[in-house]
Amino acid sequence: MALSAQRRRTRRLALLARLAATPFRSGARPSRESALDLDKAVAALPPRAREVFVLHDVYGYDHTELAQLLGIAIGTSKAHLHRARCALREVLEP
């Protein structure tokens, strides 16, 4: 039991470390204007939905990883992503 808790903890810290090693995106970029629109819309999201959206849709983490990284249930992670995408969709394509 204790070993399992330690494994989970180690895995969570490993995920954080992997995140630390992830360089910021470069290369193909959308137009400045469109990026700033999205930037602003993301900034307006509730904190948890924003975290989940950025980690999932920008950095490509999956829900299992997010659940461990953020200490939430997989279903909760999915719900936050759904909420974030709905809000962003409405802002960007009214």
Partner 1 sequence: MNHRHALELLDDFLDGELSPALSADVQRHLDGCVVCRAREGQLRRLVARARALPDLAAPVAELWEGLRRRAETARRRPRVGPGLAAWPIAAAATAVAVVGWLSLPSSSPGGAGQIQPSRTVGAAEVAGHAGAIGRLSQVILNVGDMGAQVAFYRDVMGFAIVYPQAAAGDLARETFVRFDTGGAFLVLHAGRAGRAQRDEPRLSFMTDDLDLARAVLVSRGVEVSRVRSPAPGVLVVDARDPEGNAFHVEARVPAQER
Tokens 């970029």 label which residue? 29
Q: How far apart are CA 65 and CA 9, in angstroms?
A: 12
User: Whose Cβ is closer to partner 1: residue 76's or residue 85's?
Assistant: 85
Binding site for partner 1 (CB under 8 A): 5-6, 9-10, 12-14, 16-21, 23-26, 28-30, 32, 34-35, 38-40, 42-43, 45, 50-51, 53-58, 60, 62-63, 78, 81-82, 85, 88-89, 92-93
Q: Which H or E run includes 91? A: helix 74-92
Closest approach of partner 1 to the CB of residue 63, in Å: 7
Closest approach of partner 1 to the CB of residue 85, in Å: 6
Nearest 5°: the CA angle 91, 60, 47 is 50
Closest approach of partner 1 to the CB of residue 73, in Å: 15
User: Whose Cβ is closer to partner 1: residue 76's or residue 78's?
Assistant: 78
Closest CA to 55 of 15, 2, 8, 28: 15
**CA-based radius of gyration for the chain:** 15
